[in-house]
A and B are shown apart, each in its own frame.
Chain A
Amino acid sequence: MQLVLQLEYTQVAFYQQALRDAGLGGELREFAQTALGHERQHLAAIRKALGAEAGPKPTFDFGTKTRSPDAFRKAAIELEDIAVAGYNGQATNLTKATLAAAADIVSVEARHAAWVRALGGEVAAPDPVDEPMTASQVVAGLQEIGLRTR
């Protein structure tokens, strides 16, 4: 749960900053606004579930990834793919109730990933099965994108 909290914090911060700094227009802007709205709701749900155990908001440095539409689009694909792989990777560690809640979120992350790929004219669903990531792979991926403290 702390892992997916980090994930959702990172996504919220990433979309917020991109909407401020990346000069997004058209459908890419619509995508970022929609995704931000969803990630905020995910974050709120996870914070509520964790209660007092929820860790503090980390700091971020997204560098140039939130400074141009093209860089934003590429980083958004990476980030959403990490989110999908991160949730999928935890599936067998969760209670059935938590698994059901996570499943409601992970398919929305997958929709974001396909949407932002399609906006660049890419194949939106390149693989037949999504490979999971371990917790440490997810953290490394998030740090690559801009997560600075845990």
Chain B
Amino acid sequence: MGGETTFNRFLATVDRDGALEEAGAELDLAFSRKRLLGLTAAGAGAVLLARAGVGRAAAGLSATDIGILNYALVLEYLQASFYTEAERSGALSGKTAQAARVVGATERAHVKAFLKLLGSQAVKRPSFDFQGVTEQQRAFLRTAVAFEDLAVAAYKGQAPRLQSDAVLAAAVGIHSVEARHAAWMRELFGITPAVHAFDQPASRGQINRIVASTHFVVAHPDMKGTAKPQYTG
């Protein structure tokens, strides 16, 4: 499976209107077959996200809510690491550098909030390999658009499943911020920030498959506590 093929499939999955693909067609993506083949087993991301669904009650939360929060935490880890790495690479300039700083700080704040909420039930941060997309501005923006649109769809898919009103109130406040990020990154990339009148949700299965297809998640963490691994990927 070639790197470009998997990444393009990832983009195609999140890029419903085709704007990303069109705008990025001329890009020389920083992916190579060699780099991807050097990574750990395919599907690590899917396994990780599936395992995130396991846990005992923390701070009075139900197992369902803990599972959803851990799933959101993994997506926030992914985003926070991506922006932090992009900032450090020094490859970004102008408005894009500013946006990466602001959005990166926000995603790191989301990670902190989930860690605090979950306490000892929180999953650990996985290892990531962004395969060069943080080292080139256009590739960075293209990936940022995909990540943010994905986060919006993921939160939207989980919000109605949350059982605690307090957690739901927090989740919807984060969901709309991810949508602001998506629009901002789209504007910077040069595509329409708001394409459809209604944004569609995505299920955990859909999100897991998309994240796994990127091969950005290269190692899943050990689970803390008494959680039992449930391999579905």
Contacts and interface: CB of A to CB of B under 8 A. Distances in A.
A107 B199 contact: yes
Contacts of B102: 123, 125-126
Interface stretch (B44-52, B152-160, B222-230): B152-160
B99 interface: yes
Interface stretch (A61-69, A84-92, A142-150): A84-92
Contact of A108 (B105, B165, B179): B179
Given A108-B179, A112-B193, A125-B102, 18 more contacts: A34-B194, A87-B176, A92-B165, A100-B160, A103-B175, A103-B199, A105-B198, A107-B156, A107-B182, A108-B196, A118-B183, A124-B99, A125-B103, A128-B106, A128-B174, A129-B170, A130-B173, A132-B172
A110 B177 contact: yes
B98 to A, nearest CB: 7
Main DSSP-derived SS at the A contact region: helix
A104 B99 CA distance: 25
A125 B178 CA distance: 9
Interface of A: 34-35, 37-38, 41-42, 45, 84, 87-88, 91-92, 96-97, 99-100, 103-115, 118-119, 121, 123-132
Given A92-B165, A114-B183, A35 B194 contact: yes
B197 A114 contact: no
B184 A124 contact: yes
A3 to B, nearest CB: 15
Contacts of B95: 121
A105 to B, nearest CB: 6
